[in-house]
C-alpha cells in the first residue's frame, strides 16, 4: 500500500515545502495547516465528482441531494444504480451525459474493471490509467481522486485551473503555466506536491482577502 496523507504526514510535508520554496513558505505561513487527507471510497468519490462537473457548488449540491434521495439518502451500490431507470436519474437533474457517466462508473466497479481495494496498491500513474478508461472520467478527476480519496502525497494536477492560477500568481508569470512549466516549477516540491497544490489553490484567496482589507 502506498503512503497516505494523515495529520503527521501533512505536517511533515508543510515543513519540507517551506524549506524547499521560499515563496511557497510565505503562503504556508499565512494559510496555516493543510487539511488534505485521504478519505472516502473511490467509487463514491467518482460518482460525486461526476455530479459536480461543470456546475457551481450550490447547484451541484442540490443535484447530489436529489440523486442520493433516489437511494434512500445514501450512495447506491453499483447494481442499484444500474437498475435505476435513466428517466428517474434525469429527473434528479443529471444531464444525459452524466447519467451515462455514473452508470459507466457503476458498471466498471460491478464488472471488476475497477477494483476499489486494488486502487490502494497501484502507483499513481496506474490509477490514472485505470480510471480514464471509464466514460466521463478524465485525468483531472483521476488526479482529484488520488489526492482526496486515496490521499496520495505527490500528485500535481497539471490541468487544474486553480493550481495553474496559483502558480502564475506565486511566481509572477505573465500567463498560466502549461503542464511542463508547472512540473519544472514544482520539481523541488517532491514528494509533497499534493500538499503544495493545495496551497496553490488557497493562494489567490489569500491575495484577494489582503486586497480587500487594504482597500
Indicate which residues carry an active-site annotation.
160
d(CA 202, CA 214): 19
Cα three-residue angle 135-142-32, rounded to 5 degrees: 150
Nearest to 131 by CA among 187, 192, 152: 152
Q: In this structure, are residues 30 and 137 in contact, taking their beta carbons and an 8 Å threshold?
A: no
Phi, psi of 163 (to 5 degrees): -65, -45
Classify residue 56 by its DSSP letter.
-
In this structure, how many other beta carbons lie within 10 angstroms of the beta carbon of residue 195? 26
| 101, three cell numbers | 457517466
d(CA 143, CA 51): 17
Q: In this structure, are residues 180 and 160 in contact, taking their beta carbons and an 8 Å threshold?
A: no
Amino acid at each position: 500500500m502506498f503512503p497516505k496523507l494523515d495529520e503527521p504526514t501533512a505536517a511533515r510535508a508543510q515543513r519540507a515545502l517551506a524549506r524547499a520554496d521560499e515563496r511557497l513558505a510565505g503562503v504556508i505561513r499565512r494559510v496555516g495547516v493543510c487539511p488534505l487527507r485521504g478519505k472516502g471510497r473511490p467509487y463514491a468519490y467518482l460518482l460525486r465528482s461526476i455530479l459536480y462537473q461543470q456546475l457551481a457548488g450550490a447547484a451541484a449540491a442540490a443535484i447530489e441531494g436529489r440523486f442520493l434521495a433516489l437511494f434512500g439518502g445514501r450512495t447506491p451500490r453499483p447494481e442499484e444504480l444500474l437498475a435505476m431507470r435513466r428517466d428517474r436519474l434525469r429527473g434528479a437533474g443529471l444531464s444525459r451525459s452524466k447519467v451515462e457517466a455514473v452508470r459507466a462508473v457503476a458498471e466498471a466497479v460491478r464488472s471488476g474493471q475497477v477494483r476499489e481495494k486494488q486502487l490502494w496498491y497501484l502507483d499513481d500513474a496506474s490509477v490514472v490509467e485505470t480510471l480514464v478508461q471509464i466514460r466521463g472520467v478524465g485525468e483531472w478527476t483521476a488526479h482529484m481522486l488520488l489526492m482526496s480519496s486515496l490521499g496520495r502525497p505527490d500528485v500535481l494536477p497539471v490541468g487544474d485551473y486553480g493550481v495553474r492560477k496559483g502558480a502564475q500568481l506565486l511566481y509572477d508569470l505573465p500567463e498560466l503555466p502549461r503542464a511542463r512549466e508547472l512540473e519544472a516549477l514544482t520539481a523541488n516540491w517532491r514528494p509533497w506536491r499534493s500538499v503544495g497544490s493545495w496551497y496553490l489553490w488557497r493562494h489567490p484567496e489569500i491575495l484577494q482577502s489582503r486586497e480587500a482589507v487594504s482597500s
